Structure 1
Amino acid sequence: MSKNLIARRRARALAAACMISVALPATAGLAKEKVKTDQTAQVDVAMDYAVSIPTIDAVGSNLDNAVLADILSGKVVENADALANLDATSITVPEIVIDVSSQSGSTSNQTKLTITGLTLEDVVDGRAAKISLAGVALAEDDAKANFGAMSAANLDIAGILGIYGLVDTAGQTELRTIYTDLVSQGGTIESKEVNCRVGEVTGAQFKARPLKTSLVDMIAVAQAMEEEGDDASPETVGKFLKMYADILTAFETSEVRFNGMACDGFDDEDRAMTFSIAGLTMGGMSPGIYPAISMDGFAINVEDDGSFILDNLTIKQMDLSGTIATLQSAPDVVDEAWFEQNARALIPAMDGLSLSGLDMDIPDPDTAGARIQAKVGAFDLTLASYLNGIPTAVDVSAANIQAEIPAESGDETFDQLRALGITNVDAGFRIAAAWDEASETIAVEEVSVSGVDLASVLLAGTVTNATKDIFAVDPHAAMMASMDLAVRNLDLTVTDAGLSDIILAVVAAEQGADPATLRPVFAGLAQGTVIGMMAGAADAAKLGDAINSFVAGSAKTLMIGIEAKTEPGLGMMDFMAAEDDPTTLLTKVNISAEAK
C-alpha cells in the first residue's frame, strides 16, 4: 500500500474524528488498515470498522440523506466543501453505531460505539445554533462506558474544517469562535477490575484559527516521525517543530471545569481500592500560554495497604512564547547540534506549582515491613523573570511537614534528635531570592528552617557582582561569572521556641542537675567562647552579651548582622582563606547583635 493511499485513508478517518471531537467530547473514526502498535516488537494489528446509520431526519437541508450519511460515516474530506456550506432547519440522527474489530496475532477484540440522539439545529452556511447528543455508549469485550447528554452552541462546522485545511478559509489568520456553552453530563465506566462515576464537564468557549499545515501534511509528518523513530531525519524533525510551534498558537479556550470522578475496584493483588478526584479546573488557554491546572480532592486508598490523599495540586501557568519563538526560528534541517545550542531557549517559563493537604501512609519499597508516613500542610514553588531558560526570581516554601523521625537511620541529625527524645517533627522552610539586573545584585530575602515547638533559623542578605553572565548559555562564562560573586551583608535571626529547654533537660538528667542552674553556666561559656574567638574585636563585647541573654533564656530571639567593610563584599578568595582560619574574616566585616 503506498504512503499516499495510507495518508488519504488516515485523513478521512482523522478528519471525522477531529470534527466530532472538537465539537463535542465524542469520537468515531478508525482507518481500515494495519497499524504497528510497537516499533520494537513490530506487532501488526489489523483493524476494521463499520458504521451503521439506520435513519436521518433532515428538515430544510441542502444536502440529501445519502451525503449526510457519507459524512457521518467518515467521508469528511470528500464532502468538506458541501459540509462547510450546510444549511438545515434541523438534522436529527437517532442512532449511529460504529463497530470496530481488531486482530493482533491470535487475539481479537470487538468494540461497539453507539451515539444516540445527534441533533443539529438552525444550520446556516456551516454554522449550527446548537448541537447535542442524547448519549454515548461504548462496549468492549470486558468493559463498557455510558455517558449522558452533551451539547454546545454556535458550532462553526466550516471553522472546524478550516482549522485542518479541508476548506478554503480565504487567508484567515485571526482566532474565531468554534463553539460556546459546552456541557457534558458525565457518566459511568465499568470493567471487571474497576467501576467509575465520571462528573460533568463544562466550558464557555473555544476559539481557533486555521493551521498552517494541512491535515494531510500533518498526518504525513506524524507518520514519518513514527516510522523513523529515534533516527528521524533532520528534515522530518524540522517540519515537525514548525508544525508544533504553529499548533501552540492556534487555539484559545475559556476556563474548563470537570466535576471529578470516583472509582472503586481491585488492584493487581485483588485488594479492594478506591480512587477519586473531587474536581479539576483548567484555566483559559491563549496562544503561547498554557493555563494553570488545579486538581482538588485527590485520594487513593488500598485496603490493608495504604492511602495517599492530596487536598489540592496546582500546576501553575506556563509561558511558551520563548519556546515558540525558538521553534519558529528553527531551520528546515534540524540536527542534534541545533538542539544542543538551543536547549535552554526551548525551556518554557513555568510559574511553578503548589500543593496542600498531603497525607500519605504507604509501604516503603526499599525496606520490607517499613512504611512511609508523612503529612505536608502546604508547599509552594513560584518561579518568575526567566533569562535564558533560568528563573531569576525563586520562592519555594513548605509548612507543616509532619513526619516520624526514623530510628537507626544512620543520619547524624536524625540520631541527635531522637537522642533528645524528639521522635516526630512539624517543620517548615522557605527559600526566596531575586536577581536585579540594574544593580547586579541578588536579594536573598529569606533562607529559613523552622520546627514547631523547637526553633527557627532565618538568613537574609545581599549578593553582589551578579552580572547577567551568571545566567549565560555558555557554561564556561556562567562559571567564571559565578566565581566573581561576593556577599555584601548577612542577617541571621534565631528564635528559640522550646528546643533549648529540651536540650537542657536531657543534659541536666545526665548530670543529675537542675536545668535552671545549667542555663547561666552555658550562657557564660558561650559568651566567653565568642569573645575569645573574636580576639578583641570592637564588636566582641556586644555580640557576647547578646548570646549570653539568648542562651540564658532571658531573650528568645537572637539577631546577628554581618556587613562587609568594603565593596563589593566578601568574595570567594575571602571564604577560601577562612576555611583554614575563620578569624581572617573578622577584620573585613562589621558585626551587630541584638537579643530580645
Structure 2
Amino acid sequence: MLSSPSTSRRLAALAIACLLGMALPATPALAQKTKTKPAPAAEASTAEPVNSMSVDIPTIDAVAANMDEATLRDVFSGDLVDNAEALAGLTATSITIPEITLNVEVTTDDTTTQSTVVWHDIVLDDVVDGVAASVTMSGTTVTTSADASGDFGALSARQVDIGGLLGLYGLVDGEGQTEMQTLYSDFSFSGGSFTAPEISCDFGAVTAAEFRGRPISSSFVEIMALLEALDDPMDDPSPELLGKALHLYADVLTAFESSPVQFDGFDCSGVDEDDNAVDFSVASMTMGGMSPGIYPSIDMTDMDLAVGEDGTISIHTLSFKSIDLSAPLAAIQAAPVALDDSWFADNARSLIPAFAGFSIGDVAIDVPDPDLADGRIVASVGSFDLALSDYVNGIPTSLNTSANNVILEIPATSSDEQLQTLVALGLTSIDAGFVIDASWDETASTIAINEVSLTGADLATVTLAGTINNATEALFSSDETTMLAASMGLALSDLQLDIDDAGLSDIILSIAAAEQGSDAATLRPVFAGLAEGTVIGMLAGAAEAQKIGSAVSAFVSGKAKSLSIGLTAKQQPGLGIIDFMAAEQDPTVLLDKVTIDATN
C-alpha cells in the first residue's frame, strides 16, 4: 500500500506524464529551434545532453506560395510554434525541398556522438488553405559516429490537412471545431533498414487508409508547461495540476480516430551481452482502427526468437484485444477541476480500463532445461485465448479462457521418479487443455459456471458446471465492505461433475500395482469394491447411496469409462458459506440439504 499522500500524488503524476507523452508523441519535437547552444556546465547533469543541433536546407523551390522562402525555411527547420498560424493557411502550387539535413551532437558519460539525419526529396503538391493534395518524401538516411546507420524508403500521404494537424496538437486555434475531420489519407511508408555494431534490422512497409481528428482544447504552450510541471521530481503536483493533466488526457484520447494500420513486420539480427547470436522477427502486424476512447487491437503473425544455443521460441499468431477506456474517461470527464488523494481513492476502480483479453496460436518452445544437464524443455501450445467482457466497476463479469494442445515432452533421461514411471508406461508427452467459462446474469442475480474443465489427451477429461445464486450487483461494488458482505451471501444452487477416463486410471493403477508388486487388472476389482463401500458408508441414510456407490464402482472397475455426479440444493437459494463451514467438521450435515445423483 502507498504509505503517504505524497507518494500517491507523485505516482499519479508520473503515470499521467507517461500517458500524455504517449498520447502526444510529436509534442517535444515541435518545440525545437534551428540551433541550440551547449548547455552550461552547471546544468550538464540535469539538462538534456544535447551539445548542438543544426538544420541545413540548401534550396527550397516554392511555386506560387503565399509564404516567403525565409518563413518556409524556418518552418522546415523545426520552428513550427512561431509560424503555426501561417503554415495552417499555406497555399502553393508546389513546394519542393531536395534535401534537409539535421546534425546533432550529444555527450553522455564523457562520450560524444555525432548524428546526421537527411530527408530526401520532400514535395508538397497542390496546397490550398493548409491542405496538401499530396505529400511525398523519397527517403531518409541516418548516420552516426557510433557506426550506426539507417536507410528508410519513401513516405507519402494524400489530403494532408496541415492546419488540422497543428490544431490537434494545440498549435493553432481550432475555432470551436468539435467534429472529426480527415487529417490525412492513403498513408504509405515503404520500410527500410537500420544497422548498429551489435544489431541490424530490416523493416517492412506501413500503410493506413485514413487518420481523422479534431482540435484539442489546450494550447501547445499549456501542454508543454503541464508536461514540465509533471516531470519535476522535486515538487509534489497539486490537486489542480493533476486534475488539469487528467482532463487533458481524456481530451486527447477522444480527439482522433483512424482506419486499421498494416505493418509488414521486421527482421532483426544481433548479439546479446554474452555474444550469443540473437534473431528476432515478426512477419506482419495489424493495428485495428482507433476510435475515441478505444485503444485498438494489435495482431501479429509469425514471431520468432532464437538466441544462439539457448533455444528458440516461435508464435504463429499473437493478438492483444482492444482496451475500452470509456469508463475511465467518463470518470475523468465528470471529475472536479482539482483531484486530491481522496478522489483517486474513491475512483480507483472506475479508472480501470476494460481489457478484452489476448490470444496466441501455434507456440513452439525449445530451451535448455536448467535442472537437467544437456536436457531441453520442449513444449508447444496449439491455442490459448482469454476473453473478458461486461465490466462492472473495473471487474469483468464475463470470463472465457481456454487452451488446447498444451504439449510438454517428458525427458527420457529425467531423474524424477514420477516422470520415470510415466516414461516406463509408454507416456512420452503430455497433451493438455482447459476451459474456464463463467458469466454473471444481472437480472437473475446468478453466476453461471458454464464450464471449468481440464483435459489430457489419452488421459482424462474432468468437467465442472454449476450455478451460484444471490450474486447481486453489490458483489462488484467499489466498497470493499459491501463486496465482502455480498460474497458472504452467495449460495451454490447446483453442481455437476463429469469425468471421462481415456487411460488415466490405467496409469494410476499401474503405478499403484508396481509399488505393491501386483498388476492393474488384479487391483481394479479390489479398488472398485473399496470405493463403493466408502461411498455408501459416507452417504449412509441417503436414498441415493446405493445408486451412487454402484456408479462409482463401475467407473473404478473399468466397466464404465465415464462418471457423472450431480448435486442440487433441496431449498433455494442453495448452500451458503455457513453450510460449507459446518461441513468442514462433519460433511454429512449436507446430506439432508442436497439431492445427489450419479450415472455412468
Normalization by structure 1: what TM-score? 0.90
In structure 1, the partner of 2:73 is 69
SS at structure 1 position matched to 2:575: coil
In structure 2, the partner of 1:341 is 346
Q: How does 1:199-278 map to 2 (within 5 A)?
A: 199-228=204-233, 231-278=236-283
Q: Which amino acid aligns with 2:223?
A: M
SS at structure 2 position matched to 1:500: helix
Deviation at 1:18, TM superposition (A): 4.2
Confirm or deny that 1:310 pairs with 2:315: yes
Q: Which amino acid aligns with 1:270?
A: D
Relative distance call for 1:536 and 1:35 in structure 2 (3 A) is: farther
Where has structure 1 moved over 4 Å in runs of 4 or more? 16-22, 27-31, 33-36, 363-373, 404-410, 413-423, 509-514
Relative distance call for 1:417 and 1:489 in structure 2 (3 A) is: farther
Instruction: Choose the corresponding residue for 1:557, options 562, 572, 578.
Output: 562
In structure 2, the partner of 1:574 is 579
More displaced 10-residue stretch of structure 1: 505-514 or 266-275: 505-514
Relative distance call for 1:525 and 1:196 in structure 2 (3 A) is: same
Relative distance call for 1:33 and 1:565 in structure 2 (3 A) is: farther
Counterpart Cα distance in 2 of 1:571 and 1:368? 52
Paired residues of 2:571 and 2:593 also in contact (CA < 8 A):
yes
Counterpart Cα distance in 2 of 1:353 and 1:415? 36
Paired residues of 1:126 and 1:157 also in contact (CA < 8 A):
yes
Paired residues of 1:425 and 1:452 also in contact (CA < 8 A):
yes
Counterpart Cα distance in 2 of 1:463 and 1:373? 40
Counterpart Cα distance in 2 of 1:230 and 1:542? 74
In structure 2, the partner of 1:8 is none
SS at structure 2 position matched to 1:128: strand
Confirm or deny that 1:284 pairs with 2:284: no
Deviation at 1:507, TM superposition (A): 3.5
Q: Which amino acid aligns with 2:395?
A: I
Relative distance call for 1:482 and 1:422 in structure 2 (3 A) is: farther
Deviation at 1:192, TM superposition (A): 0.6
Q: How does 1:45-84 map to 2 (within 5 A)?
A: 45-84=49-88
Deviation at 1:49, TM superposition (A): 1.3
SS at structure 2 position matched to 1:541: helix
In structure 2, the partner of 1:3 is none
Deviation at 1:398, TM superposition (A): 1.4
SS at structure 2 position matched to 1:159: helix
Paired residues of 1:28 and 1:98 also in contact (CA < 8 A):
no
* Deviation by residue 1:230-273 (Cα, 9 ceiling, x = unmatched): 73332222211111111110010100011000011211111112
Q: How does 1:450-465 map to 2 (within 5 A)?
A: 450-465=455-470
* Deviation by residue 1:451-476 (Cα, 9 ceiling, x = unmatched): 11111110000001111111111111
Counterpart Cα distance in 2 of 1:41 and 1:444? 58
Instruction: Choose the corresponding residue for 1:162, options 155, 164, 167.
Output: 167
Counterpart Cα distance in 2 of 1:337 and 1:255? 39
Counterpart Cα distance in 2 of 1:314 and 1:41? 42
Relative distance call for 1:106 and 1:521 in structure 2 (3 A) is: closer
More displaced 10-residue stretch of structure 1: 133-142 or 248-257: 133-142
Paired-residue identity, %: 49
Paired residues of 2:242 and 2:339 also in contact (CA < 8 A):
yes
Counterpart Cα distance in 1 of 2:577 and 2:35? 65
SS at structure 2 position matched to 1:158: helix
Deviation at 1:581, TM superposition (A): 1.4
Counterpart Cα distance in 2 of 1:293 and 1:195? 24
Q: How does 1:356-395 map to 2 (within 5 A)?
A: 356-363=361-368, 372-395=377-400
Deviation at 1:50, TM superposition (A): 1.0
Relative distance call for 1:135 and 1:40 in structure 2 (3 A) is: closer
Q: CA RMSD in A?
A: 2.8
Relative distance call for 1:354 and 1:454 in structure 2 (3 A) is: same
Paired residues of 2:34 and 2:79 also in contact (CA < 8 A):
no
Deviation at 1:511, TM superposition (A): 4.6
Counterpart Cα distance in 1 of 2:199 and 2:429? 37
Q: Which amino acid aligns with 1:271?
A: N
Deviation at 1:328, TM superposition (A): 1.8
Counterpart Cα distance in 2 of 1:414 and 1:572? 39
Confirm or deny that 1:138 pairs with 2:154: no
What runs of 5+ residues in structure 1 fail to find an aligned partner? 1-15
Relative distance call for 1:207 and 1:398 in structure 2 (3 A) is: same
Counterpart Cα distance in 2 of 1:167 and 1:267? 46
More displaced 10-residue stretch of structure 1: 211-220 or 225-234: 225-234
Relative distance call for 1:157 and 1:195 in structure 2 (3 A) is: same
* Deviation by residue 1:201-228 (Cα, 9 ceiling, x = unmatched): 0000000100111111100000111114
Counterpart Cα distance in 2 of 1:102 and 1:567? 74
More displaced 10-residue stretch of structure 1: 58-67 or 398-407: 398-407
Q: How does 1:25-174 map to 2 (within 5 A)?
A: 32=36, 42=46, 45-104=49-108, 106-141=110-145, 142-174=147-179
Paired residues of 2:404 and 2:433 also in contact (CA < 8 A):
yes
SS at structure 1 position matched to 2:232: helix
Deviation at 1:552, TM superposition (A): 2.2
Give the number of aligned pairs: 572
Q: Which amino acid aligns with 2:349?
A: R
Q: Which amino acid aligns with 1:180?
A: S
In structure 2, the partner of 1:499 is 504
Deviation at 1:572, TM superposition (A): 0.9
Q: Which amino acid aligns with 1:136?
A: T
Q: Which amino acid aligns with 1:331?
A: P
SS at structure 1 position matched to 2:350: helix
Deviation at 1:374, TM superposition (A): 3.0
More displaced 10-residue stretch of structure 1: 161-170 or 288-297: 161-170
Deviation at 1:523, TM superposition (A): 2.1
Deviation at 1:166, TM superposition (A): 2.5
Q: Which amino acid aligns with 1:51?
A: V
Relative distance call for 1:488 and 1:420 in structure 2 (3 A) is: farther
SS at structure 2 position matched to 1:206: strand
Counterpart Cα distance in 2 of 1:214 and 1:414? 66
Deviation at 1:441, TM superposition (A): 0.7
Relative distance call for 1:394 and 1:17 in structure 2 (3 A) is: closer
In structure 1, the partner of 2:329 is 324
Relative distance call for 1:485 and 1:35 in structure 2 (3 A) is: farther
* Deviation by residue 1:87-122 (Cα, 9 ceiling, x = unmatched): 111111110111111234532121111000101111
* Deviation by residue 1:460-506 (Cα, 9 ceiling, x = unmatched): 00001111111111111111110111100000000001111222333
Paired residues of 2:461 and 2:500 also in contact (CA < 8 A):
yes
Counterpart Cα distance in 1 of 2:260 and 2:80? 30
Counterpart Cα distance in 2 of 1:64 and 1:317? 46
In structure 1, the partner of 2:537 is 532
* Deviation by residue 1:63-82 (Cα, 9 ceiling, x = unmatched): 22222111111222222222
Counterpart Cα distance in 1 of 2:126 and 2:248? 35
Relative distance call for 1:321 and 1:106 in structure 2 (3 A) is: same
Relative distance call for 1:485 and 1:332 in structure 2 (3 A) is: same
Paired residues of 2:34 and 2:74 also in contact (CA < 8 A):
no
More displaced 10-residue stretch of structure 1: 233-242 or 92-101: 233-242
Q: Which amino acid aligns with 1:284?
A: G
Paired residues of 1:19 and 1:161 also in contact (CA < 8 A):
no
More displaced 10-residue stretch of structure 1: 504-513 or 518-527: 504-513
Relative distance call for 1:340 and 1:452 in structure 2 (3 A) is: same
Counterpart Cα distance in 2 of 1:418 and 1:234? 64
In structure 2, the partner of 1:9 is none
Relative distance call for 1:34 and 1:353 in structure 2 (3 A) is: farther
SS at structure 1 position matched to 2:559: coil
Q: Which amino acid aligns with 1:49?
A: M
More displaced 10-residue stretch of structure 1: 39-48 or 452-461: 39-48
Deviation at 1:173, TM superposition (A): 0.6
Paired residues of 1:31 and 1:47 also in contact (CA < 8 A):
no
Deviation at 1:540, TM superposition (A): 1.1
Relative distance call for 1:547 and 1:29 in structure 2 (3 A) is: farther
Deviation at 1:414, TM superposition (A): 7.7
